[in-house]
Amino acid sequence: MKAVCWMGTEKMSVETVPDPRILNPRDAIVRITSTCICGSDLHLYDGYIPTMEQGDIMGHEFMGEVMEVGSGVDQGKLKVGDRVVVPFTIACGNCFFCQHQLWSLCDNTNPNAWIAEKMMGYSPSGLFGYTHMMGGYAGGQAQYARVPCADVGPLKIPGGLPDEKVVFLSDIFPTGYMAAENCNIQQGDTVAIWGCGPVAQFAIRSAFMLGAEQVIAIDRVPERLQMARDGGAQTINFEEDSVVDVLKDVTGNRGPDSCMDAVGMEASGHSLFFATDRAKQALRIKMDRAEVLRQCIRACRKGGTVSIPGVYAGFVDNIPFGAAMNKGLTFKMGQTHMMRYMRPLLERVERGEIDPSFVISHRVPIDRAPEMYRVFRDKLDRCTKVVLDPWADGASGA
Ligand code: NAD
Ligand code: ZN
């Protein structure tokens, strides 16, 4: 089959690799019909998260048709022929964490838990296509994928809904929604969201669903700022204005009730701390550029909440923790607990409350994935989200 393989920093390649097979009784094989490039994949593309190996198959946002199920899969839950969206987190369904709906913290799905334990104390769940530290699972930017614990994660999709409307249930719609839920929004609140990437776009719309009165979104890319305004947000261009000052002004000197970092470890910026981050990251001494997290802590009102869907990988420094402590801030973060949100959000799509396809700028054959990584990272060609078609003829255009 064809698959997008990580061959080194900034080197993606579409390779012909062996088709996946059932390895465990609870596995399923899915024939993928749509698969996306995520902001999280850019951290791997840019080489900032360790334990990738040459030839690893990328991708964690995919959907398709079940071709085969193992003998241990509960056929009442999943059977051959079902059309499914597959969540990016892999969860066993039985452990303490799964029982508590903390799906991205499953105790049983990372066979390389020892690597994560060395760095983090305990290991989160396994993830598709996201380093050996997170399980070394082959990802879904391919024609087929092996889906472990297949009777827990995949969500059946009724016919009639096109892939474009449901594929983002695999990650960024639930991620934006959980990030908004983590803001602890009360009626009438002001929420500030850093980043207007795909995750932030869903966070903006989710914040309104959860009762925010005002959402202020921050970025510098014109078409992304426009998309945020289309979703009802006011916007700040961080190249033109001092973000923390503007937020203070527009909230009557009090500050936003919650601040969301939907940017993560590859933030841009202008401060001295940012320059230090960048130098250390270039030398691979540090993994993260935490400019946005710093701004969130500074801008947030006293007693407010900082929600962090943006991915961080390592040991972040120069965090104003004294400010966080003395202002009594609450922090909420994490990889998304996907299975809490997929079905209720599918129901919103079915009811026509939201059409997630608004975020797509490019739908291209998988053969063009290597070039699209660069286009998405560098925000070329007004790129906001790339959906790859694993079966289309590579010669055809966007
Ligand atoms: P993206 O890279 O497309 O978007 C990031 C945006 O942040 C860009 O538009 C960029 O211009 C903007 N930005 C950079 N510096 C900024 C600054 N100083 N202030 C304001 N905006 C700034 O990525 P995405 O797909 O939207 O993902 C966003 C983050 O969410 C990534 O870190 C990704 O890894 C993470 N993510 C987390 C989860 C989860 O489960 N927690 C799931 C998916 C993605
Ligand atoms: Zn993703």
Query: pTM of the entire structure?
Result: 0.97
- pLDDT recorded at residue 377: 98
Q: Does domain 2-171+336-394 have CATH number 2.60.40.10?
A: no
- pLDDT recorded at residue 284: 83
Low-confidence ranges of the chain (pLDDT < 70): 395-398
Same fold, 2-171+336-394 and 173-333: no
Nearest CA to ligand 1 atom 30: 310
Structure tokens at 74: 């509960």
* CB of 44 closer than 8 Å to CB of 127: no
Find where tokens 């669903």 sit. 209
Structure tokens at 66: 């079940």
> Ligand 2: distance of its center to the CA of 250 in Å?
32
- pLDDT recorded at residue 398: 40
The CATH label, of 1.10.3720.10, 3.40.190.10, 3.40.50.720, 3.20.20.140, for the domain at 173-333 is 3.40.50.720
* CB of 105 closer than 8 Å to CB of 97: yes
Ligand closest to 269 (CA) is: 1
> Ligand 2: distance of its center to the CA of 89 in Å?
10
**Residue ranges per structural domain of the chain:** 2-171+336-394, 173-333
- pLDDT recorded at residue 79: 97
Structure tokens at 322: 């004294």
- pLDDT recorded at residue 37: 98
Pocket of ligand 1 (CB under 6 A): 38-40, 42-43, 171-172, 175, 194-200, 218-221, 224, 238, 262-264, 267-269, 291-292, 309-311, 335-336
- pLDDT recorded at residue 372: 98
- pLDDT recorded at residue 397: 42
Structure tokens at 7: 């061959």
Helices 291-299 and 243-250 meet at what angle, rounded to 10?
30
- pLDDT recorded at residue 394: 73
Query: For a substitution probing ligand 1, which of 172, 240, 263 has the most ligand atoms within 8 Å of its CB?
Result: 263
Enumerate residues with CB within 5 Å of ligand 2 (an ion).
38, 40, 61, 171
Nearest CA to ligand 1 atom 9: 197
Q: Which residues make Cβ contacts (< 8 Å) with residue 377, sequence separation at least 6?
A: 42, 45, 46
Q: What angle do CA 67, 72, 76 make, to 5 degrees?
A: 70
CA end-to-end span of the chain, whole Å? 22
- pLDDT recorded at residue 3: 98
Nearest CA to ligand 1 atom 39: 335
Ligand closest to 43 (CA) is: 1
Query: For a substitution probing ligand 1, which of 36, 37, 40 has the most ligand atoms within 8 Å of its CB?
Result: 40
Q: What contacts 24+ positions apart, CB below 8 Å, involve 81-85? A: 82/154, 82/156, 83/156, 83/157, 83/159, 84/30, 84/154, 84/155, 84/156, 84/157, 85/154, 85/155, 85/157, 85/166, 85/167, 85/169, 85/170, 85/342, 85/346
- pLDDT recorded at residue 153: 97
